[in-house]
Amino acid sequence: MSELQISTLQSEWVTLQTQFDSYEKYSLIIKLFSILISCMLVFVFDIGICALMVVLILWLQDGIWKTFQHRIGQRLEIVEQAIQDHSNKTQNETTDIGMQFNLAWNQSRSNAVGLVCEYIKQSIKPTVAYPHAVLFVMVVVQFYVS
């Protein structure tokens, strides 16, 4: 692997890592928005069923967002492995080159059912499910108490 290729991989890694970290921030914003809007619907407007729908919609949206982040993470692992292989020089020269995130993303994308399953899989991870699951329970309890 040439120094130009390794430099390209390093540039790609910096870009992807920055994006990966920013997705985490936006996921937190989705969670905070979900808390705010759900509490307003339940405690200010006393509209439990609408709050329930909002919680579910925002929970799935967070799962979709985390799916995008996960795909960036997959590419980051490939780039990191290529950089590590270059620096160790214990294996044959790798053919992986930088700046192929979109190609890798398209190749790993599944059909519609697979994509929905991937969104759900990301949605049930504890870091995504919190606070959505708590809000869901809170709204259901408030709905039945009212």
- pTM (2 decimals)? 0.69
| Closest-CA residue to 101 (of 1, 9, 6) | 9
Quick one: pLDDT at residue 61?
A: 93
Phi and psi dihedrals of 6, rounded to 5?
-65, -35
| Model pLDDT for residues 29-55, shown as the tens digit of each residue | 999 999 999 999 988 998 878 888 999
Comparing CA positions, the residue from 104, 84, 105, 106 lying closest to residue 94 is: 84
The pLDDT of residue 127 is above 90: no
Number of structural domains in the chain: 1
Paired tokens of 42: 């339940």
10-19 long-range Cβ contacts below 8 angstroms, 24+ apart: 10/83, 10/98, 11/98, 11/99, 12/79, 12/98, 12/99, 12/101, 13/76, 13/79, 13/80, 13/83, 13/98, 16/72, 16/75, 16/76, 16/79, 16/101, 17/76, 19/72
- Find which of 18-22, 101-105, 106-110 is predicted with most confidence, using mean pLDDT: 18-22
Q: What is the separation of C-alpha 60 from the centre of its chain, rounded to a whole number of angstroms?
A: 11
User: Whole domain around residue 102: which residue ranges?
Assistant: 3-145
